[in-house]
Amino acid sequence: MATFSKYLTAKYSCLAGGGLLLLYLLRHRSQTRKKHRSKDGKKDKTAVDKVFFLRILRILHIMVPRVFCMETAYLLLIASMLVARTYCDVWMIQNGTMIESAIIGRSTKDFKIFLFSFIKFMPVIALVNNFLKLGLNELKLRFRERLTKKLYDQYLQGFTYYKMGNLDNRIANADQLLTQDVEKFCNSVVDLYSNLSKPLLDIFLYIFKLASAIGAQGPAIMMAYLLISGLFLTRLRRPIGKMTVTEQRYEGEYRYVNSRLITNSEEIAFYNGNLREKQTIHSTFKKLADHLHNFIFFRFSMGFVDSIIAKYVATVVGYLVVSRPFLSLSHSRHLHSTHSELLEDYYQSGRMLLRMSQALGRIVLAGREMTRLSGFTARITELMTVLKELNTGKYERTMVSLQERETETAEKTILVPGSGQIINRDNIIKFDHTPLATPNGDLLIRDLTFEVESGTNVLVCGPNGCGKSSLFRVLGELWPLFGGNLTKPERGKLFYVPQINAHFRKRINGQRQHEKERQLSWKNLLTEQLLTCALYFCSLWKSGKSFHFL
């Protein structure tokens, strides 16, 4: 017992507690990873690997389309300001060393000289820092403008916006992707560029300065430590990308259920569906909150490991490196140095090595931001892939469960989207042996054949769900044609009035504003619209033209 009692001190207790906490965090991370491995097995990987770099290069080609453009100019501005800031840091270290040396040596003359040098240099340092902030903020905005324009050009091409929400279910929250995810991606890319460029420049500059002061062996040891710790921490941070993707997806779902409540408030009020909507919103938010709790705990555990490896252990390695030439009595550099010269040399070398260790720590910690960026990159790449496929007529819909797929009939499985042929011809609408089916593959009409010539009025009647609206969705090319031939005028020669007219309210509001001078009330405007429709149908009826019923 006496042998072990000497280890029962506060120092060894702290070391043992820290080691046990580290083992617990690593074990908890391993269990969480195994728990989610089966659910995420079919999803795209979000690790920092070759696929990530290929994806981000593809997106960067959109954000920086040419060599000579404003984005390139801001990239060069940021790079030049980073170089200037690094040289400012080196100058401040040297000047600060001389100021403190003058204070310790009680030299009023040297103190005034170096202090006034610092005062004269302050506007330059402030200008460099603010130019750097200006370049970063402008580059974030420029990247967002380029990427947003590209995505919206594809999203609003033809009926792609409709197909994404009604024919394809790979992306359920396009608004979240087009707004928040694009902004966070652009901010993350620019921040990563800054957080990597500045530390790398600092490392190379301080290596050059320190090699002449303490030899090349010290910086080499620090670089080796950077490589080993970086690989270890990158391996531990791999779940961050996947958790970022999940967080953004849950944020989009929560945003969607709230916007759905606002959009359909009238229908929900008629059906007294407030309690059901409340339950849906609470369950969606709970799913988001539970994930954020897990994410916060994971970041806490990774922050604990990062602080030890990237900061404190790096500082220990730095002390070991910088102390070697001073503690070695046979070192040639300090054989004939006085105490003040040793103090000045150690202080300057120590400050540089401290800055170098901080730069190494920032590079190691930048891997965390890179892993998070891989999550945003996967989300943006998925959106670009879906938009490209929808614009070429390819879509995927997986809402049917496995049990429903097993009970499908053989006739349903042979339906191939886009297998029908559309023939453009004026003054006729003709369905020739055309199956009418939903994008999910539900067959509504097995074989639809009828013809409507110009001047013929047709009323389509039937109960809910029989395919009345589906007929016009196929006719308007919103839904794919599953077979047969469809003869109709070109898309621009047919006009459709949907069941929920999004522009009706704006049209009434516009007329009401325009007619204020004539003192027309809202009731008069609405009556005018209804009378116009009634007179139109009465004129058709009196003309003697026949109506066809389907």
Neighbours of 55 (CB within 10 A): 18
Q: Report if residue 532 sits inside a domain.
A: no
Average pLDDT over residues 291-308: 86
Any domain includes 536: no
Residues 254-265: tens digit of each pLDDT: 888 888 888 888
- Same domain, yes or no, for 117 and 151? yes
Is residue 192's pLDDT more than 90?
no
Read off the CATH number of the domain in which 141 is found.
1.20.1560.10
Of 476, 493, 510, the residue that ends a domain is 493
Report, as an integer, the average pLDDT of 176-186. 89
Residue 433, H or E segment? strand 428-437
Q: Which of the listed residues 469, 493, 517 is the one where a domain comes to its end?
A: 493
Any domain includes 248: yes
User: Which one has a higher pLDDT value, 464 or 80?
Assistant: 80
Within a domain: 402: no
Flag whether 541 is in a domain: no
More confident of the two residues 516 and 77: 77
Distance CA 235, CA 225 (A): 16
My answer on whether 151 and 204 are in the same domain is yes
Q: Is residue 437 pLDDT above 90, yes or no?
A: no
Residue that the structure tokens 């969705």 belong to = 473
Looking at the structure, tell me whether residues 281 and 427 fall in a common domain. Answer: no
The conformation of residue 483, written as its DSSP 8-state character, comes to: S
Residue range 439-491, pLDDT digits in tens: 777 788 888 888 888 888 888 887 777 788 888 888 888 888 888 888 888 87
316 and 457 part of one domain: no
Residue at 529 is within a domain: no
| Per-residue pLDDT, 508 | 47
Beta bridge partners of 436: 445
User: Which of 473, 493, 513 lies at the terminal end of a domain, its last residue?
Assistant: 493
Give the integer Cα–Cα distance in Å for 417 and 415: 7
Residue 135 has what pLDDT? 92
Q: What is the pLDDT of residue 40?
A: 46
Query: Do 289 and 322 belong together in one domain?
Result: yes
Q: At 67, is the secondary structure helix, strand, or coil?
A: coil
For residue 525, tell me if it sits in a domain: no
In whole angstroms, what separates CA 129 from the centre of its chain? Answer: 28
364, 476: one domain: no
Of the candidates 146, 155, 25, the residue with the CA atom closest to the CA atom of residue 74: 146
Indicate if the pLDDT at residue 181 is higher than 80: yes
Domain count, the chain: 2
In a domain, residue 401? The reply is no
Measured on CA atoms in the order 444, 449, 455, 457, is the torsion positive or negative? negative
pLDDT-derived band of residue 153, with 50, 70 and 90 as boundaries? Answer: very high
Q: Are residues 467 and 344 in the same domain?
A: no
Domain containing residue 253: 11-37+45-391
Q: Are residues 346 and 430 in the same domain?
A: no
Together in a domain, 283 and 149: yes
Banded model confidence at residue 215, pLDDT cuts 50, 70, 90: low
The dihedral formed by the CA atoms of 6, 9, 13 and 14, expressed in degrees to the nearest 10: -130
Q: pTM of the entire structure?
A: 0.67
Q: Are residues 29 and 165 in the same domain?
A: yes
* Same domain (yes/no): 143, 268: yes
Type of residue found at 295 = F
Q: What is the DSSP string of 316-381?
A: HHHHHHHHHHHH-TT-GGGSS--HHHHHHHHHHHHHHHHHHHHHHHHHHHHHHHHHHHHHHHHHHH
Please state which of the ranges 29-38, 262-271, 404-413, 495-504 shows the lowest mean pLDDT. 404-413
Looking up tokens 């105490």, which residue turns up?
339
> For residue 517, what pLDDT is reported?
45
Residues 303 and 423 placed together within one structural domain of the fold: no
- Where does the pLDDT of residue 536 fall: very low under 50, low under 70, confident under 90, or very high at 90 and above? low
